[in-house]
Structure 1
Amino acid sequence: MTLRDVFEAVSSQPALLFVLLMAVPTAAFLVNLWSGETAEEIWKWRYVYATLVYLACIPGVFAVTLNIYLFLFERQSIWEMNLGLQALPILTMAGTLLLIRRKMPFKYIPGFGKLSGFLTLIAAVMGILWFIDRTRIYAITYIPFMYIVVGFVALLLLIRFAWSRIF
């Protein structure tokens, strides 16, 4: 089974996809109602908020990465975009994060920093790959592959350090 087969199977059931993706912001809205108003009451719900953040961000980040890949590398037209698989997870992620941010700052949600670091790493890798694809540089070299891997990891660490200094 290929990824295309999975997407076609999910696309054949758009109502189920919509219900599953809308369950996360709905749950965030309900948790906001039930969590109370004082800081102590809200603090007790931080792991529920962390679960909701991950449930929203994993498909959302995957959809963002998929869109970047399809538009930059595969040259997919925006008119051929599958709204259920390429846009709805991003909207779900944004809506869920907005609802959660109203009640609790992200710095208090466990693991949110790791999620933003992962997103930075994905963006850096996609940027490097796009740059390599656009420059069409192909080199035949006698440099051992381990040196290339070490250079790539060093470049990622440099990008991560620069990103953390900027923001």
Structure 2
Amino acid sequence: MTINDLFQYALDHPANVLFYFALIPFAALLAGWMEREEGHLPPWNYLYSTLVYLVAVPAILSVAYTIYKWMFERGSVMDANIMLQVLPVASMLLTFFIVKRQVLIESLPGFSRLSGLVIMISAALAIMWFMDRVRIYTFTHLPIQWLLGIFVGLLIIIRVAWRRVAK
């Protein structure tokens, strides 16, 4: 199955996608209604963390896909797919709003990994955009292993630099 097949499946079955992205904010709302005072304690913080991950990872990938579509394929904003590009982000924002009312998002287990994922995807997109603009791959005679090594090295440097800035 390719990514295009996955997107086509999601477009062919919009009820499943809508159900998934509506269920997560509803579950966060229900969890907040069931336990108002101890949301920062286990098992509630793990439930909130799971809900945040279940909605944030698809939304982050949706944003990365949208940026890729606009920057590299020169797609139009007006051609944005509601189910694949808008709904995941809207569901993430709604879920974050609901969870933030119950517990500090920064105190959830594994939240730093989520911000690391955002940074790595952003760095990869920035490096790919830079390479696309300067056409570095057309005039170099380096083997592909060297280019991949440089790419991974730049990602590591960006990650280390971000950790130092974030502290």
Aligned-partner Cα distance in 1 for 2:132–2:150: 18
Q: Contact 2:39 / 2:102 at 8 angstroms: preserved in 1?
A: no
Aligned to 1:43: 41
TM-score normalized by structure 2?
0.87
Q: Contact 2:39 / 2:45 at 8 angstroms: preserved in 1?
A: no
Aligned-partner Cα distance in 2 for 1:41–1:66: 33
Aligned-partner Cα distance in 2 for 1:85–1:144: 36
1:59 matched to 2:37: no
Q: Contact 2:21 / 2:88 at 8 angstroms: preserved in 1?
A: yes
Aligned-partner Cα distance in 2 for 1:41–1:3: 36
Instruction: Map 1:32-111 onto structure 2 (within 5 A).
Output: 32-37=32-37, 40=38, 42-44=40-42, 45-111=44-110
Aligned to 1:125: 124
Residues 56-99 of structure 1: CA deviation (Å, up to 9, x unaligned)? 11211111111011111111111211111111001111111121
The alpha carbon displacement at 1:119 in A equals 1.2
Aligned to 1:23: 23
1:43 aligned counterpart, secondary structure: coil
For residue 83 of structure 2, what is the amino acid of its counterpart? G
Aligned-partner Cα distance in 2 for 1:47–1:76: 38
Aligned-partner Cα distance in 1 for 2:154–2:16: 42
Over aligned residues, Cα RMSD in angstroms?
Answer: 1.9
TM-score normalized by structure 1?
0.87
Aligned-partner Cα distance in 2 for 1:29–1:160: 34
The alpha carbon displacement at 1:110 in A equals 0.9
Structure 2 unaligned segments of length 5 or more: list them. none
For residue 10 of structure 2, what is the amino acid of its counterpart? V
Residues 34-59 of structure 1: CA deviation (Å, up to 9, x unaligned)? 1222xx45413111011101111121
Q: Cα distance 1:6–1:148, how it changes in 2: closer, same or farther (>3 A)?
A: closer
